[in-house]
Chains A and B, each alone.
Chain A
Amino acid sequence: MKIAKEKRNLAIAGALIGIIAVVLVLLGNPKNMGFCIACFVRDIAGGLKFHSAGVVQYVRPEIIGLVLGSFLISVLTKEFNARGGSSPVLRFCIGAMVMIGCLAFLGCPFRMILRLSAGDLNALIGLLGFASGVGAGSFFLSKGFSLGRTRAQAPLEGCAISLVNIILFVLVIAVPSLFAFSTSGPGSMHAPMVVSLCAGLVVGLLAQRTRMCMAGGFRDLYLLKDGTLICGFIAIFVFALIMNLATGSFKLGFTGQPVAHNAHIWNFLGMAVCGLGCTMLGGCPLRQLILAGEGNSDSAITVLGLLTGAAISHNFGLAGAAGAVADGAGLKTQGKVAVILCLLILVAIACIKTFAEKKED
């Protein structure tokens, strides 16, 4: 009975999140980007002038809302738990590599589902890559991969990332001239700030309560034959699909898809990097934001790794360019090299942490 209840809650939360995501697009967010943790963290990196790609600069309130939604509900339910200390530097680096993989594909696992629900078949290639990456990560987990134990931390350490988000939001409202705002491109397209913040808060709350995780869904299916977490994933897809069909936003195909490219190998490998990295971290980028809000400083440092990865990606021209490959879109040489290097480094870290290092217990 209890298992069925968890599945039901995840399905309800997924349905609400799918609907909210499509509504955010109707209110101004870029197409198929009601939510995208990778894109939005990249926009924040741009807004903070950590990179200078003029079309992707905006301090996305959705991200701030996600962290604070999780923070508030975890404090209210007494689930806030300040802890950390499990390989923070490795987590930072893995977070940065996950972001490089996501930006090669142009989306996190969350946006991958939203793209799929709007008929973007490139996301299907991404999904295959993601599932393969999670599969590889699950193999290492089953062989004993571990980033080590966490320890209790002082409450301020657990709150720090939420406080940073509050300060960031206050500064954006009070002194917007401090930040960069795109005047064209995806960064210039956004729902009203208050709506975005509220959407983030609601999704943060739902994701915190249900432990929703895109990487965890596949991992549990592979390792435990448990389909609970993937219910959230499926519900987001189904309800976003219904909303896209109802609003005429569904368009099946590989080309002409919004903020996407059709370089299949790199869509596959980009999301394979993401899937492997996320499985090593214990959760997808959305889950990292939620855990960070709950007081997990390992996830907070991972989020800072994601932010840094976004800046690296755009400062060195590693991100995928939207459009058709025939028109020169996709990845530049340095982007392809970066994706392969990230994949190799992740496998090396996984091998060392699985086979080479003596286990603490």
Chain B
Amino acid sequence: MEIDYRGLSCPEPVIRTKKAIKDNPQTVEVLVDQRAPLENVSRYLRAMKYDVSVQEESGQWRISATK
């Protein structure tokens, strides 16, 4: 599952991420373009026991999370 939260400001991406992983998917990819969402989406996914890796792509970040 890939979700695009580019343009959304803190805290919307992390709250939408919470909803998006409600059904406990094995993998999820989140696109963000601001620092605060990058950090709190990653933090939330880690807290939800996902392994999180981040790739920077010209001022945007792809957060990949796997259970």
Contact = CB atoms under 8 A, between A and B. Distances in A.
Contacts of A150: 7-9, 34
B9 A86 contact: yes
Contacts of A296: 9
Contact of B47 (A149, A223, A226): A226
A3 B43 contact: yes
Contacts of A146: 8, 12
Size category of the binding interface on chain B? 20 to 34
Interface string B22-39: 000000000000111001
Contacts of A151: 7
B20 interface: no
B40 A223 contact: no
B10 A283 contact: yes
Interface residues of A, number: 26
Contact of A2 (B14, B18, B43): B43
Interface in A142-160: 142, 146-147, 149-151
B44 A81 contact: no
Contacts of A2: 42-43, 46
23 contacts: A2-B43, A2-B46, A3-B43, A3-B46, A3-B47, A6-B43, A81-B59, A86-B7, A141-B12, A146-B8, A146-B12, A149-B6, A150-B7, A150-B8, A211-B36, A220-B40, A223-B11, A223-B15, A226-B40, A226-B43, A226-B47, A282-B12, A298-B9
Interface of B: 6-12, 14-15, 18, 34-36, 39-40, 42-44, 46-47, 59
Interface of A: 2-3, 6, 79, 81, 83, 86, 141-142, 146-147, 149-151, 211, 216, 219-220, 223-224, 226, 228, 282-283, 296, 298
